[in-house]
């Protein structure tokens, strides 16, 4: 199976507030994106391709309500808390935190965990407490993944090395996989490889050979998990990524990187078409 994921980050913020959203008002944004894409995605078989969109929490209800009958779109949240509600236990005292059961109750079926931005945030908080152990971040992510799986959510688990870590990329990725997925049923886990060292303006992305090498290594360590390219599936690399046998899809963020940058549903559909070849 192929997987096409979209991390919509905070692309909902209007341009007048410093954001990149010019496609729909905030209140209709999540609903609009699903409505503008799901019918055209129906031509791809559900058994052949998984389409998942990870929304900021405020837009999940609108996105879920837009789902049509037999929609191929899965609605996901951007991470879950490391603890959750339980009968006879904590009934919901999780101020500011979105639990996996919250996401499930809202209509989510999937979540993204371990994105490089989340890893950086957790590492920064730990550093304020004097903790520099990289394994600590992976242990926290492991707790989040466990709660997501317990709630019945599938997980897109992001891993990747920074420029400082690149000389030891094998050790870094192995640690992220073995600790992050320890004790977890991997049948509902897909891994997204983020070459953090290559993400950002002016950076040179990895080529086909490098992605093939890393993807092959991840599959050896991850014991059968599908692997997608998380460094950004876009129009100019879609066909190249589609030609790599060990890569099972990609993670889309922005669809336009010049001019009025942002996420545009029709451009998203074009990327899908380029990747899937139809």
Alpha-carbon distance 205 to 107, whole Å? 35
Other CB atoms within a 10 A radius of the CB of residue 227 amount to 24
Alpha-carbon distance 244 to 229, whole Å? 10
The sign of the dihedral angle between the CA atoms of 180, 192, 263, 100 is: negative
Give this prediction's pTM.
Answer: 0.97
Burial category of 159 from C-beta neighbours within 10 Å (exposed 0-12, middle 13-18, buried 19 and up): buried
Burial category of 80 from C-beta neighbours within 10 Å (exposed 0-12, middle 13-18, buried 19 and up): buried
Residue 3, strand partner residues: 50, 249
Please give the structure tokens belonging to residue 196.
């953090």
Alpha-carbon distance 132 to 127, whole Å? 6
Report, as residue numbers or ranges, the catalytic residues: 115, 194
Residue 93: the pLDDT is 86
Encode the chain (278 residues) as per-residue pLDDT tens digits. 999 999 999 999 999 999 999 999 999 999 999 999 999 999 998 889 999 999 999 999 999 999 999 999 999 999 999 999 998 888 888 999 999 999 999 999 999 999 999 999 999 999 999 998 889 999 999 999 999 999 999 999 999 999 999 999 999 999 999 999 999 999 999 999 999 999 877 789 999 999 999 999 999 999 889 999 999 999 999 999 999 999 999 999 999 999 999 999 999 999 999 999 96
Residue 92: the pLDDT is 85
Residue 106: the pLDDT is 98
Domains annotated on the chain, with CATH:
2-276 (3.20.20.70)
Please give the structure tokens belonging to residue 27.
């209140």
Cβ–Cβ under 8 Å, residues 139 and 122:
no
Alpha-carbon distance 32 to 231, whole Å? 26
Which residue reads 């999937």 in tokens?
A: 110
Residue 221: the pLDDT is 97
């Amino acid at each position: 199976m192929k997987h096409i994921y979209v991390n919509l980050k905070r692309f909902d913020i209007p341009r007048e507030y410093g954001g990149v959203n010019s496609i729909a008002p905030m209140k209709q944004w999540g609903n609009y994106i699903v409505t503008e894409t799901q019918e055209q995605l129906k031509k791809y078989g559900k058994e052949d391709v998984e389409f998942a969109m990870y929304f900021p929490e405020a837009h999940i209800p609108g996105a879920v309500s837009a789902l049509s009958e037999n929609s191929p779109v899965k609605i996901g949240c951007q991470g879950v808390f490391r603890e959750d509600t339980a009968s006879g236990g904590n009934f919901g005292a999780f101020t500011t935190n979105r639990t996996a059961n919250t996401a499930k109750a809202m209509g989510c079926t999937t979540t993204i965990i371990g994105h490089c931005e989340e890893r950086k945030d957790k590492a920064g908080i730990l550093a304020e407490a004097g903790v520099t152990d990289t394994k600590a971040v992976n242990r926290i992510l492991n707790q989040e993944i466990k709660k997501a799986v317990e709630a019945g959510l599938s997980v897109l688990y992001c891993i990747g090395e920074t420029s400082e870590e690149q000389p030891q990329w094998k050790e870094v990725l192995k640690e992220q996989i073995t600790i992050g997925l320890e004790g977890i049923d991997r049948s509902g886990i897909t891994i997204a490889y983020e070459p953090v060292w290559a993400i950002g303006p002016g950076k040179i992305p990895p080529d086909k050979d490098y992605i093939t090498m890393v993807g092959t290594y991840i599959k050896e360590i991850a014991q059968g998990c599908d692997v997608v390219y998380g460094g950004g599936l876009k129009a100019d690399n879609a066909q190249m990524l589609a030609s790599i046998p060990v890569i099972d899809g990609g993670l889309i963020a922005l669809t336009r990187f010049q001019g009025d940058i942002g996420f545009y549903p029709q451009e998203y559909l074009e990327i899908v078409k380029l990747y899937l070849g139809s």
